[in-house]
Amino acid sequence: MATYILKRFLQLIPVFLGATLLVYFLVFSLPGDPIVALFGDKPVNEAVAAKLRAQYHLDQPFWIQYLLYLKSIFTFDLGQDFSGRPIAAVLGEVFPVTARLAIMALIFEAVFGIIFGLIAGLRKGKLFDATVLVASLIVIGIPIFVLGFLLQFTIGVQLGWAKPTVSSAATVQDLILPAIVLGLGSFAYVLRLTRTSVIENMNADYVRTATAKGLSRFRVVRVHILRNSLIPVITFLGADLGSLMGGAIVTEGIFNVPGVGNRLYRAVLSGEGPTVVSIVTVLVLIYCLSNLLVDLLYAWLDPRIRYDS
């Protein structure tokens, strides 16, 4: 197992290099001159512009810029964003907020998705199952920004059950509504996945064996059906953690959450290559690590899977 984990960590190196190169190239190819954009409506002062270009190495060719960026990563000096703040400090500010949001969303979708999916699966074809299936289709069908505004207005503004916007501290309480909005789509998928998986396992021979042993229905479900049914669900949840971290742009925009999505959006608009690449690289690493975690969980849940050959 240890060799396997080590191997997976070594695999992170090419992923890291590839991701940074690709993202750096994409940002480099964006149309428009970020320095000119900095001046806004004011006339461009050529001397200042040239100085800024030199400071951010924008006068260098692509490869030099990329290598300089790599160097900055390995010297732990990510440089500064256009407003002059160290990028490392920016990362340290936005990632905890988004991590909190993403984990809350993950807990929400996991707990409710699995519970609803389990009940729907056990009562296949009954009213609860049908209702939940239709509701999950609706949730999947409605775009997240519509859902976001809808919940913000009804629950946040009209009913006043949760705060409609998020303070700069972004406390857990502030983030409840955004986390639900962020997790709703995946919640529907988790629900459907759990349901299908439970239905499949309910008819498995070993479930009949468990019943024939005299176990109560509850114990058959909890011990024999649930664990087997969770195997595909866990895979989905792990992969989803990465998506939640990076995909919160819309939700963070709606609720004004000072997180990764907001900052990334601004950085893309202003063409801040190093900031964009830094954020995306961290996201890629989180994605890889959560996938590794899933694979380890997988082996734990299903003893048939062994990574040592």
Partner 1 sequence: MTDFITVDPAQPSAPGKGDVVLEVRDLSVDFGVDKKWVPAAIRLNYEVRAGEVLAIVGESGSGKSASSMALLGLLPSNSRVSGSVKLAGKELLGGSEANIRAVRGKDVAVIFQEPMTALNPVYTVGAQIVETIRLHNEVSPDQARERALRMLELVELPDPEKAFRSYPHQLSGGQRQRAMIAQSLSCDPKLLIADEPTTALDVTVQAEILDLMRNLRNKLDSAIVLITHDMGVVADLADRIAVMRRGVIVETGTAAEIFHNPKHEYTKALLDAVPHLGQGGEADGDVDVTAALAAATQADLEAIPHEELLRRERANAAALAAAAETAKPQGDPVLELTDVAIEYPKQGRVPAFRAVEGANLAIYPGQVVGLVGESGSGKTTIGRAAVGLLPVAAGTMKVVGQDISAAKRNGRQLHEMRRHVGMVFQDPSSSLNPRLPIGESIGEPMFLAGVAKGAELQTRIEALLDQVELPRNYRNRYPHELSGGQKQRVGIARALSLKPKLMVADEPTSALDVSVQAKVLELFQNLQKELGFACLFVTHDLAVVDVLADRICVMQRGRIVEQGSRDQILRNPQEPYTQRLLAAVPLPDPEKQRERRELRAQLLSGAS
Q: Rank residues 63 and 218 by Cβ distance to partner 1 and give the closer one.
A: 218
SS3 86: strand
- Name the minimum Å distance from CB 290 to partner 1: 23
Taking the complex as a whole, the smallest distance from the CB of residue 200 to partner 1 amounts, in Å, to 12
10 Å Cβ neighbour count for 293? 14
DSSP state of 164: S
What minimum distance in Å lies between the beta carbon of 237 and partner 1?
18
Query: Which candidate, 297, 77, 114, places its Cα nearest to that of 192?
Result: 114
Q: What is the closest distance, in whole angstroms, from the C-beta atom of residue 208 to partner 1 in the complex? A: 6
Q: Which is nearer to partner 1, 46 or 308 (CB)?
A: 308
Residue 132 is which amino acid?
V
State the minimum distance, in angstroms, from the CB of residue 235 to partner 1: 15
Q: What share of the chain is helix, strand, coil (3-state, %, to 5)?
A: 75, 0, 25
Q: Which is nearer to partner 1, 211 or 243 (CB)?
A: 211
Q: Are 110 and 244 in contact (CB under 8 A)?
A: no
Cα separation of 143 and 29, whole Å?
Answer: 29
If the CB atoms of residues 165 and 211 are measured against partner 1, the closer one turns out to be 211
306: which 2 tokens? 């062994």
User: Of 65 and 229, which has the nearer Cβ to partner 1?
Assistant: 229
> Which spans of this chain sit near partner 1 (rule: CB under 8 A)?
204-206, 208-217, 223-224, 227-228, 301-304, 309
